[in-house]
Amino acid sequence: MEPKEAIIKAMETAGKPLKGGEIAEASGVDKKEVDKLIKKLVAEGKVDSPIRCYYAIVK
């Protein structure tokens, strides 16, 4: 599974906004990689930040 897919799946499974470290732990992707990919997902409009430092899937 691609790291981006693993991050999205982990966020969907959680069903609540998560911090970057929590996403890294749940997805098995390195935290630095998670931080880079979260920025890309936010730019693509797939993820937003409802609370500072927390991220959630856009529905």
| In the chain, domain spans | 3-57
Element (H, E) at 7: helix 3-14
pTM of the model: 0.91
Residue 54 pLDDT class (50, 70, 90 cuts): very high
Q: Give yes or no for residue 1 having a pLDDT over 90.
A: no
Whole-number Cα distances in Å, 33 to 22, 57, 59: 13, 18, 23
Q: What's the whole-number mean pLDDT along residues 30-54? A: 96
- pLDDT for res 5: 96
What CATH number should be reported for the domain whose range is 3-57? 1.10.10.10
- pLDDT for res 59: 82
